[in-house]
A and B are shown apart, each in its own frame.
Chain A
Amino acid sequence: MPNLTADLTALLEPARVLHSREDLLAYGYDGTAALSGVPAVVVMVKTVEEVAAIVKYAAANRVPVVGRGSGTGLSGGSVPSMGCIILCTAQMDKVIELDEKNLTVLVESGCITQKVSDLADSVGLLYPPDPGSMKISTIGGNVAENSGGLRGLKYGITRDYVMGMEVVLADGTVVWLGNKCVKDVAGYSMKDIFIGSEGTLGIITKVLLKLVPKPAAKKTMLATFARMDCASDTVSAIIAAKIIPCTLEFLDKITIKCVEDFAKIGLPLDAEAILLMETDGHPAAVEDQAAQMVEIAKRCGATSVQVAQTAEESVRLASARRSAFSALARVSPTTILEDATVPRSELSKMIRYIQDVGARHNLRIGTFGHMGDGNLHPTFLTDEKNAAEMTRVELAMQEIFDFAISLGGTITGEHGVGLAKKPFLRRALGNASLDLMKLLKKSLDPLGILNPGKIFD
């Protein structure tokens, strides 16, 4: 066994090689419930050269390397595997270049998502991917998880904004993939392989992101419903009317109460469900679409539809929605969040099924999510110390996944597989697809040192 700490100290400043028990315990988790581990050592990297040297060292000594941004992942992606090096990018967080001519921004992978968003905003541009965790998530983590957000319906997800990246491969080689060109078909689109790779194929050190012009107008509305399926009907009807709003976010009754307890913005506590709807673009088009959406919501049974009067009010609503997952933790000791996703046309069925599963297994489930994307987050409000209940949670989870797959959906829409969804992957993908992934992993990381045990074994 090599002396990791001593060896790594030779590669970067001693103060950035963390090995005290207190330090190690502080890197034992991410945002996922009931998963933890203890790394052998943590390195706080600042340059691509350091990353390359560490990976090279790890390869030579067969030590696993687990990449970590801010540790907000929800599938256990950055939870340490036994004896690993945690390679943390939190201190490698600079914006390198904002190119207003080409509408791109180049950042180090530890750069916080919010920082990119604020920077774009300051020059009249927009960086659309806005995961609920954007105040603290890193761009590297967003790319590695291919994160979505509240605006996915109209603007897409992280993948749609990655133009290029610098990656350190499993043997320490540094490669640059992609460029500022809008079109580029020179060979395979290699950058796409690393998007959503969850740290298992390479360590991302820089990312070139695409920005878009900021829409001139925006309108935010809050529709209230007395029945959950009225909300999903509204979503289907809006899309069937050929309107693509930027946001259609859903919260059920428990979630509304928890969010209101935290944010105190006057959400309707008696509603069974609310839908946060937002449309943006040319002012006239926005007016027109907003009016149509109000009309559709009412037709589908909304008890009221409020329109946000000021920009601050819409920001308040969106930030309240972003706190949904954490706010649900108010209810019970353990909060287990799922990420089932179905084609939009199947939403009502999925919602009803989740309610039904909760009732059948006598479980409390709070559901919220990106309804416009068909992406729901049924969240089990439970207690890890109650073994009987945890067994029922597992059963319920399995049933929800099976049903989502039967509707042509997937087990995870945006949180990734990591450790949490690993047992369900084969069923979701089928053998051929899973084997192809394994083949890719084997050829890019033959020694299996990059985030081993994540996605699949």
Chain B
Amino acid sequence: MHPHAPKTPLPPSPGAKPFYLKDLDFGVLAQCIHCGLCLPTCPTYDATKLEKHSPRGRIQLMRNVAEGRLDLTEAFGDEMYFCLGCLACETACPAGVDYTRMFEEARADIERAGILNTEKRNWIRSIMLRGVFTRPWLLRLIGRMLRIYQASGMEWLVKKLGLLRLLPKNLRELEPLTPRVERDFSDALIAEVETPKDAARKRVGMLTGCVQDLTYSSVNRDTVDVLLANGCEVITPRMQHCCGSLHGHNGEVDTARDMARRNIDAMERSAGSLDDLDAIITNAGGCGSHLKHYDHLLHDDPRYAARARKWTAKVKDVHEFLSAIGTVKPTGVGTEQVVTYHESCHLCHGQKITKQPRELLKLIPGLKLVELPESSWCCGSAGVYNITQPEMSAKLLDRKMANIAKTGAKCVANGNPGCSVQLEAGVRTAGSDVEIVHPITLLARAYRGGQGGEK
């Protein structure tokens, strides 16, 4: 065991609320009328047909906790972590239930009470959530080491010699999930201020994300290229922090708030003021969904509340933004390619962005878009779910891969790095040659291939 592993519940930060669920407005909890219309869209209910693994069941348990009829038990904690947080239930719910809110508050209660704490879990959480993901330089250092491991041939040697077998079982199972790390991170690829050839029609801030930056920094470069091609001046703060979504979704509210403040500060430093920006662009569905909630996250912070509201109003997913300003159509004939589109949960359910990425793909010359069956069914990535619930996650990945195979497409577009890591693992396991790519990358390629674009 690690010498610094905390043995007791992690202490709450000063001024934090003692209970989240209990303090939640009755209206939020009572909004669910237990009609059950969300059940068929819930992946964990679909797989088990057990009510407690359904949105309606979970809401009922949360309500029971809030009203004091159920203690914060370990079983309750396990249930709330068995939930993918995919938010398919929110899309399905006609009653407008705010599942995100309840779910995050429940997980915060669980962490506050420490009911799931084991020494191993605490160690992993404090290293990962509080250590690595709060320190951009450390995250990138680890990425750098991983890159050396992957590029040096060491990886091949380790696999060949069967050294992985020396690792504990659940770490060994993680190996195929380890994403490819890029050679350069965003700061090396993107200048702090980049201006388009002609006069800029918009000025935007660019968020590079953390996983995106580590594993898909080229997608960030592509995004900036696409924004430039669409007449935007792009401001990209240096050494950006994680957006805090991992923390928010995993009950680390205080850390999530801290991350939010740092991101607002950084953007203001680079851009002058948030008022000087037309939009703040994110290209990662999972982050976007969380970034749009900074207003709620910081609503009671006197120094940040107003700025956070401004922030929320400006954050736009890149597809959403392009579609709103009118995307420049790439010229040329393009290469013939069949592409299918997988919807990241937090893009389609969290942000209700479904049409824009498809419209954008259809602009690309030579590209034929075929619909993916069950395109909005979770792929099992779900933040760190593939690490914490490998079995359920694998089931969902198998289902997704089978659906992809049905389309015959050799290219899957999707707008969230978490999904890409998961889907690439699926491709590797299946030994298939399907390419997983961000829609923006396809657009950037089209701009580069053709003469640029036409209005």
- The answer to whether A and B assemble together is yes
Listed in ascending order, the chain A residues whose CB lies under 8 Å from chain B are: 18, 20-23, 25-31, 33, 44, 70-72, 88, 90-91, 93, 112, 114, 133, 135-136, 258-259, 261-263, 323-327, 329-330, 333-335, 385
Return B39 CB to nearest CB of chain A, in Å: 5
Q: A29-B60, A93-B49 are in contact. List 10 more A-B contacts (CB 8 A).
A: A25-B69, A33-B33, A44-B50, A72-B35, A90-B50, A323-B37, A324-B94, A325-B94, A329-B31, A333-B26
- For A114, the chain B residues whose CB sits under 8 A away are 40
Return B37 CB to nearest CB of chain A, in Å: 6
Is B73 an interface position by the 8 A CB rule? yes
Among B40, B50, B73, which residue has its beta carbon within 8 angstroms of that of A136? B40
Interface centre among A31, A33, A88, A329 (most CB of B within 10 A): A329
CB of A21 within 8 A of CB of B94, answer no
- For A27, the chain B residues whose CB sits under 8 A away are 51
- For A20, the chain B residues whose CB sits under 8 A away are 75
Is B390 an interface position by the 8 A CB rule? no
CB of B70 within 8 A of CB of A22, answer yes
CB of B40 within 8 A of CB of A22, answer no
CB of B37 within 8 A of CB of A133, answer yes
Is B15 an interface position by the 8 A CB rule? no
Residue of B nearest to A327 (CB): B94
Is B174 an interface position by the 8 A CB rule? no
Interface centre among A26, A27, A259, A261 (most CB of B within 10 A): A26
A-B CB pair tally, cutoff 8 Å? 102
A26 touching B52 in the complex, CB below 8 Å, given contacts A325-B35, A326-B33: yes
Listed in ascending order, the chain B residues whose CB lies under 8 Å from chain A are: 26-27, 30-37, 39-40, 49-52, 54, 57, 60-61, 64, 69-70, 73, 75-76, 79, 93-96
A70 touching B33 in the complex, CB below 8 Å, given contacts A22-B61, A330-B95: no
- For B96, the chain A residues whose CB sits under 8 A away are 261-262, 327, 329-330
Complex CA distance for A251 and B54, rounded to whole angstroms: 30
Residue of B nearest to A93 (CB): B49
CB of A21 within 8 A of CB of B60, answer no
| 7 A-B pairs with the lowest CB-CB distances in the bound complex, closest first | A326-B94, A329-B95, A323-B94, A26-B57, A327-B94, A26-B51, A26-B52
Residue of B nearest to A33 (CB): B33
14 pairs, CB–CB < 8 Å, chain A vs chain B:
A21-B73, A22-B61, A22-B70, A23-B50, A25-B60, A33-B33, A70-B36, A136-B39, A258-B94, A262-B96, A325-B94, A326-B95, A330-B95, A333-B26
A326 touching B52 in the complex, CB below 8 Å, given contacts A25-B60, A333-B30: no
- For B51, the chain A residues whose CB sits under 8 A away are 23, 26-27, 71, 88, 90
Complex CA distance for A16 and B323, rounded to whole angstroms: 49
CB of B52 within 8 A of CB of A22, answer yes
CB of A329 within 8 A of CB of B49, answer no
A335 touching B79 in the complex, CB below 8 Å, given contacts A22-B70, A326-B95: no
Return B349 CB to nearest CB of chain A, in Å: 14
Residue of B nearest to A32 (CB): B34
CB of A326 within 8 A of CB of B37, answer yes
A25 touching B36 in the complex, CB below 8 Å, given contacts A44-B50, A327-B94: no
Complex CA distance for A42 and B32, rounded to whole angstroms: 23
CB of B37 within 8 A of CB of A25, answer no
Complex CA distance for A22 and B95, rounded to whole angstroms: 24
Interface centre among B36, B40, B96 (most CB of A within 10 A): B36
CB of B36 within 8 A of CB of A71, answer yes
Complex CA distance for A333 and B70, rounded to whole angstroms: 21
Return B51 CB to nearest CB of chain A, in Å: 4
Complex CA distance for A245 and B35, rounded to whole angstroms: 28
CB of A133 within 8 A of CB of B35, answer yes
CB of B39 within 8 A of CB of A70, answer yes
- For B60, the chain A residues whose CB sits under 8 A away are 25-26, 28-29
Complex CA distance for A226 and B86, rounded to whole angstroms: 41
Complex CA distance for A33 and B34, rounded to whole angstroms: 8
Return B400 CB to nearest CB of chain A, in Å: 21
Complex CA distance for A70 and B60, rounded to whole angstroms: 15
CB of A31 within 8 A of CB of B34, answer yes
CB of B33 within 8 A of CB of A18, answer no
Return B417 CB to nearest CB of chain A, in Å: 29
